[in-house]
């Protein structure tokens, strides 16, 4: 069963992303590192596979520490 979009957004929030201005059903989530994700759809909608992959990748990249 696919997660809901609100669940993916919760994961983004927990990873340190902040919701920015939105237009219609699109919401932009930005991490202090500069990484961002644009989510489309409504919170109760089932997430599409590509949205899950975008969130997973954005969280992984944002949490990497710079190499000395």
pLDDT digits (tens, 9 = 90+) for 28-42: 999 998 889 999 998
Q: Answer whether 5's CB lies under 8 Å from 26's CB.
A: no
pTM (2 decimals)? 0.87
Mean pLDDT of the chain: 89
Q: Above 90 in pLDDT, residue 4?
A: yes
The pLDDT confidence band at residue 67, using thresholds 50, 70 and 90, is very low
CA–CA gap between residue 59 and residue 53 (Å, rounded): 10
The pLDDT confidence band at residue 22, using thresholds 50, 70 and 90, is confident
Residues 6+ apart with CB under 8 A from 58: 12, 17, 29, 31, 35, 36, 37
């Amino acid at each position: 069963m696919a997660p809901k979009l609100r669940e993916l957004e919760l994961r983004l929030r927990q990873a340190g992303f902040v919701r920015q201005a939105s237009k219609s059903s699109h919401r932009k989530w930005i991490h202090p590192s500069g990484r961002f994700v644009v989510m489309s759809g409504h919170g109760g909608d089932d997430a599409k596979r590509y949205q899950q992959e975008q969130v997973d990748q954005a969280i992984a990249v944002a949490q990497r520490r710079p190499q000395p």
